[in-house]
Amino acid sequence: MDGALLSGWLASVGDQAARVTPVQYCQTVFVILATGVLAVNALPARTKRYLLDYGARENKSTGVLHDKTIGNAGGDAAKHPIGADTLEYVVATFASYSQVPHAWFSSFYIAYLVCAFGWTAQWLLWQQGASSGGFFAWLAEHQRTADRKSEPSATSMSLMQVSVAMGLEALQAARRLYEHASVFKASNSKMNFTHWALGLAFYVCMSVAVWIEGSPAGRGIEWAKLALGTSLFLFAWLQQYRCHGHLASLVKYSLPEEGMFRYLVCPHYTCECTLYLALSIVAAPAGQLFNQTLLPSVFFVVACLGVTANRTTKWYIEKFGAARVAKRWKMIPFIF
């Protein structure tokens, strides 16, 4: 490929990328993240455990023997299973060099709060007549330009909805950060780097998704829908806090059996899914039930936590017996 042809191709790609709106970028990120989780879960059982299992579930698969260690970085996760095929060997090798502390989960919430503060500060400066609103202004103007080609009042959320949605998500991030600092017991468990990277990408994208559909052109607020979404969010927020408190009070690797845990294996995951569903209701433009930018985030959360809930259930069955969890749904009542 000669220089002129390459330059033309790059210019074409750049032109196409410029036509993609911030809303579409957010939706695409959520879909890619969800697809990545499902793709990993589709790997053979012996292979995917290197990427999915950590903490109590790490290396608990039955019938797996090990014969040698790959490198020096990964401990148990680096051991090469006897009879492994090429894919399993490659994944095991990658996992051995990509372990990070599980405590890094707290960085998700720090990242979201920092981003949310940054977006808010840029918006306030922009509203007060600053010559430049930074990256916030660039994103907002790009989306506004796209909206002008349609009917912005039909696709935009009001500034009140933006404030409520950003406030609720910040409340969730702040509580989760508090839990990691003061509620959960310190742990030396590790997780794969991909877990951390996916989570960080999700929260950074969420910091944009909660406000990007906002516009002064948004139609009047549907107060009943706003109240419904906010109430549902706060209910799930409180229930998740109670679930996490119960988990933190347990003897390590014991079976939780109080409150919502009597009916669900992972009710804290149920609450997490409900939080993001409620947020998409809070931020839904007039005439719509859900915010179309935030709804894909629900798909990611359901996919990610659904995979973990399924593996947690299997671990509970192995450790405590099927009878102890037989009457519990994994995550979604009456469905899963």
pTM: 0.84
Total count of residues recorded for the chain: 336
Residues β-bridged to residue 329: 264
Q: Do 173 and 225 contact (CB within 8 A), yes or no?
A: no
Reported for 8-16, long-range contacts at CB under 8 A and 24+ positions apart, including other chains, are none
pLDDT of residue 81: 54
pLDDT in tens, the chain (336 residues): 566 555 555 555 445 556 788 888 999 999 999 999 999 898 888 888 888 876 665 554 433 334 343 343 444 444 555 556 788 888 888 888 888 888 888 999 999 999 999 988 888 876 655 556 577 777 777 777 766 665 544 567 888 999 999 999 999 999 999 999 898 887 788 888 988 999 999 999 999 999 988 866 556 678 999 999 999 999 999 999 999 999 999 887 889 999 999 999 999 999 999 999 999 999 998 888 999 999 999 999 999 999 999 999 999 999 999 999 989 999 999 998
Burial class (CB in 10 A: 0-12, 13-18, 19+), 276: buried
List all residues 6 or more positions away from 315 whose beta carbon is below 8 Å from its beta carbon.
56, 57, 60
Cα 78 to Cα 75, 190, 198, 226: the distances in Å are 5, 13, 22, 49
Task: Specify the CATH number of the domain 102-325.
Answer: 1.20.120
C-alpha 170/C-alpha 110 separation (Å) is 10
User: In 163-237, at which residue ranges do the beta strands (DSSP E only) sit?
Assistant: 190-192
C-alpha 75/C-alpha 95 separation (Å) is 10
Domain parsing of the chain, residue ranges = 21-100, 102-325
Could you tell me where the DSSP H helices lie in 77-191?
A: 86-96, 106-127, 134-148, 152-155, 159-178
List all residues 6 or more positions away from 205 whose beta carbon is below 8 Å from its beta carbon.
26, 29, 30, 297
C-alpha 254/C-alpha 256 separation (Å) is 6
pLDDT of residue 78: 46
C-alpha 77/C-alpha 94 separation (Å) is 10
pLDDT of residue 226: 95
C-alpha 77/C-alpha 153 separation (Å) is 53
C-alpha 240/C-alpha 275 separation (Å) is 9
Q: Work out whether the CA dihedral 208, 209, 213, 214 comes out positive or negative.
A: negative
Helix, strand, or coil (residue 12): helix
Residues β-bridged to residue 45: none
C-alpha Rg value of the chain to the nearest Å = 22
